[in-house]
A = this chain, B = another copy of it.
């Protein structure tokens, strides 16, 4: 029973045009040609490929899974055709700079497109996210030879990309990588084993370009001794044509809780005896820096996977609740049974799902604007925007994927017993979502990144600039009676967030173990308050539009209702989080022997 996917175009448009303002994009010289109408047309088309090509295969991918046979992986039925449609539609090239054959469209467009693809079929869409990361890496760090040989087919999507960091002893601790590289003519010879490699092998494309972290002889220990190599599955001649197979293969594929359609491989480099031929990307021992240029965007991408699955889970649960009739209404016990969406507890669950999804969307796309501004904005705006990307990245990744776990599990609950039966699809979304808080840096790593890299380095200045925006908004709207309850709650939560930020900034320096013990709560608090800000601001804009009779009144009223729900049900947790942050560390840091 494959479930339909409806692209959430109305909310995406509201965020892009009203909450953020597309004029901010159009004002960038690089995007002068991308007017709001063009953006809408792109979103429409992306919604079609998501709903028509990707979504119908979501269920197929889960049930069928991937087939592994002697190093070769066969994707589930239909996946090659859907991927081909994606490539032929030019979607792989969307945000790539025109000098490399891309369309050069803003991330504020590329990320909503990603949301829809991920929500429709995360197992397949993960491949497109990996391509995007590989393209970014080679554009930023590849030399001319690499760009000439590999980029055209990678940008088009004719070839796919992967990220090879993890080894059994080197997960969160990437500096422990042991794979080795030795110079061999104008290439390098790579040997070693990598695990958890998404799309390590598949049959979607004629070639796969693996980006592999390895260690040169006499390299320094830790991350400073890592170099990055491009290792093609099939060797490529200087003219870009395919040659012989390289000495790299998938050894096995993992049996995972979810994302059955995405092949997660153990990869062997050089076990054929001669080593896999690899091209150095960037400088020797400069691999981790190169990886990090890509990783920020990839982390935002994983947050957007969470967003896509929240939306999918919400749609499924809402549609089920609208049609499933069970029990009489609490305030009409003599009337016939009603659809369960009328039962208050079911409505509470649906509103929770919706509120978190819409808050997450507004947060993620605000981050996308910062990505575009950091890259294409005015000289005066770039560095501030880059700091904002830095501070928002772990929050988008960590908060949206934590919430995706909650929201997709709530989706199962709305379905009741049917949610536990695989045929309804509710369980699949929950299983598919469960990796998001883990891969591309666990949410514990995100929380540490937020506290020790992002907050500690500027003593909270970047996050405080966001808080100042909230203050300004509260000030501007101080006379708005319709917003007063939401504003009151937002102001209270903002005070909690500021207090907690002060505590975190202080302790990150003076007592790092204590700051680490409560870092996860701090990340959640930031997401909670920022989500509340963007929704309250959305409600304000919706009131304006209603007053001006502009826009769809049903949509605008729903937006106001959702923001009101968030303020009453989600924001109040801020106070508890702030309290725990300030008092909770000691009881974590008891000696390990007692746990």
Interface of A toward B, CB cutoff 8 Å: 166, 169, 171-173, 176, 195-196, 254-258, 318, 325-328, 330-331, 337, 341-351, 354, 405, 409, 412-413, 416-417, 419-423, 427, 430-431, 434-435, 437-439, 442-444, 447-448, 512-514, 516-520, 554, 557-558, 561, 564-565, 567-569, 572-573, 575-576, 579-580, 583-590, 592-595
Contacts and interface: CB of A to CB of B under 8 A. Distances in A.
A354 B592 CA distance: 13
A583 B327 CA distance: 26
Nearest to A346: B444
Given A564-B587, A572-B580, A588-B351, A405 B416 contact: no
Given A345-B517, A405-B409, 10 more contacts: A171-B417, A172-B326, A255-B422, A255-B423, A256-B421, A341-B592, A345-B519, A416-B438, A569-B587, A576-B576
Contacts of A166: 417
Contacts of A346: 444
Interface centre among A195, A448, A579 (most CB of B within 10 A): A579
24 contacts: A169-B326, A171-B416, A173-B337, A176-B326, A255-B421, A330-B513, A331-B512, A345-B448, A351-B588, A409-B409, A413-B437, A413-B438, A413-B443, A416-B442, A420-B438, A427-B434, A554-B593, A554-B594, A561-B595, A565-B587, A569-B587, A572-B580, A573-B576, A575-B575
Which of A341, A344, A594 lies at the interface centre, i.e. has the most chain B CB atoms within 10 A of its CB?
A344
A445 to B, nearest CB: 9
Q: Which of A166, A444, A595: most chain B Cβ within 10 A?
A: A595
Given A326-B173, A438-B413, A438-B416, A348 B256 contact: no
B348 A517 contact: yes
Contacts of A439: 417
A345 B451 CA distance: 12
A594 B565 CA distance: 12
Contact of A595 (B347, B519, B573): B347
A437 B414 CA distance: 11
Contacts of A431: 257, 431
Contacts of A520: 345, 348
A509 to B, nearest CB: 13
A331 B438 CA distance: 24
A508 to B, nearest CB: 10
A59 to B, nearest CB: 12
Contacts of A447: 345
Contacts of A427: 256-257, 434
Residue from A342, A427, A588 with most neighbouring chain B CB atoms (10 Å): A588
Interface centre among A422, A430, A587 (most CB of B within 10 A): A587
Contacts of A558: 594-595
A456 to B, nearest CB: 12
B595 A569 contact: no
A315 to B, nearest CB: 11
Contact of A344 (B349, B350, B413, B516): B516
B590 A561 contact: yes
Contacts of A438: 412-413, 416-417, 419-420
Contacts of A573: 573, 576
Nearest to A589: B344
A344 B513 contact: yes
A586 B595 CA distance: 43
Contacts of A590: 561, 564-565
A257 B420 contact: yes
Contacts of A575: 575-576
A331 B513 contact: yes
Nearest to A594: B558
Contacts of A592: 341-342, 347
A453 B392 CA distance: 46
A440 to B, nearest CB: 11
Contacts of A327: 172-173
Contacts of A519: 344-345
A146 to B, nearest CB: 29
B595 A350 contact: yes
A354 B590 CA distance: 14
Contacts of A412: 257, 434, 438
A320 to B, nearest CB: 12
Contacts of A516: 330, 343-345
A595 to B, nearest CB: 5
Contact of A565 (B567, B569, B588): B588
Contacts of A417: 166, 171, 195-196, 435, 438-439
Contact of A444 (B345, B576, B588): B345
The 8 closest A-B pairs by CB, nearest first: A344-B517, A344-B516, A257-B427, A345-B444, A558-B594, A173-B327, A565-B587, A576-B576
A469 to B, nearest CB: 25
Nearest to A63: B255
A448 B348 CA distance: 13
A343 B351 CA distance: 36
Contacts of A444: 343, 345-346, 349, 413
Contacts of A256: 420-422, 427
A428 to B, nearest CB: 9
Contacts of A331: 512-513
Contacts of A350: 595
